[in-house]
Amino acid sequence: MSRRDIVIGIIILAVVGFFIYRSQNVPNPQITSLPETSIEDKVKDKFNVDLPENAEKAELTSPNKTADFGVAVREEEGDVLGYSVLADLPDPTGGEFYQAWLVEGENYESLGKLTLAKGGWLLDTSMSTESSADSEVVVTKEKIFDSTPEEEVLRGSF
């Protein structure tokens, strides 16, 4: 083995070592460049709907850290506020149902029952514009349709 063969071997080992080092320390661009999907985008994809651009929106998330999600939309038309709630929730069992609430401070006002539609749960309703701009929307799982909220499953703020 000549000196020349040894030098060529060292150069080859250095090049191979360099490429191995680079491949282990270069971040994967597919992982680092993916933006986080917003709940609004998830709702648009799941329900195949376009949410109004000029409306107020509240992203609804689970207080129990489940994968359930939704969005509430509030639109003012004159002296009427229109509310829509779209939620990705599992089907309730044993006669239970979902109910949406407008919450201002400690006051809960029922917006009504959600119905199964578009592959998820939906509510469209309207009321007078007397509600506060700082309100929240809460979705509960209920056994009795009354004025008392039961098990909270989603919550979001306008």
Query: Higher-confidence residue: 117 or 141?
Result: 141
Which residue in 52, 54, 86 sits closest to 71, CA to CA?
A: 86
Let me know whether 142 and 86 are in one domain: yes
Let me know whether 123 and 92 are in one domain: yes
Q: How far is CA 12 from CA 7, 16, 17, 20, 21, in A?
A: 9, 6, 8, 12, 14
Let me know whether 28 and 71 are in one domain: no
Let me know whether 16 and 61 are in one domain: no
Q: How many domains does the chain contain in total?
A: 2
Q: Which of 12-16, 73-77, 89-93 has the lowest mean pLDDT?
A: 12-16
Let me know whether 43 and 120 are in one domain: yes
Let me know whether 70 and 141 are in one domain: yes
Q: What's the confidence (pLDDT) of residue 133?
A: 66
Let me know whether 10 and 72 are in one domain: no
Roughly how many angstroms between the first and final C-alpha of the chain, as a whole number?
78
Let me know whether 48 and 100 are in one domain: yes
Q: What's the confidence (pLDDT) of residue 129?
A: 67
CATH (domain of 91):
2.60.40
Q: Which of 6-10, 63-67, 70-74, 96-100 has the lowest mean pLDDT?
A: 6-10
Give the tokens for residue 46.
């799941």
Question: Mapped to the 3 state alphabet, what secondary structure does 97-122 carry?
Answer: EEEEEEEECCEEEEEEECEEECCEEE
φ/ψ of 11, rounded to 5, equals -65, -45
Let me know whether 62 and 137 are in one domain: yes
Query: Higher-confidence residue: 129 or 37?
Result: 37
- Domain containing 23 equals 3-32
Contact between 152 and 138 under an 8 Å Cβ cutoff? The reply is: yes
Query: pTM for this structure?
Result: 0.73
**Amino acid code (one letter) for 127:** M
Let me know whether 54 and 110 are in one domain: yes
Contact between 146 and 113 under an 8 Å Cβ cutoff? The reply is: no
What mean pLDDT is predicted for residues 61-79?
Answer: 91
Q: What's the confidence (pLDDT) of residue 3?
A: 85
Let me know whether 70 and 22 are in one domain: no
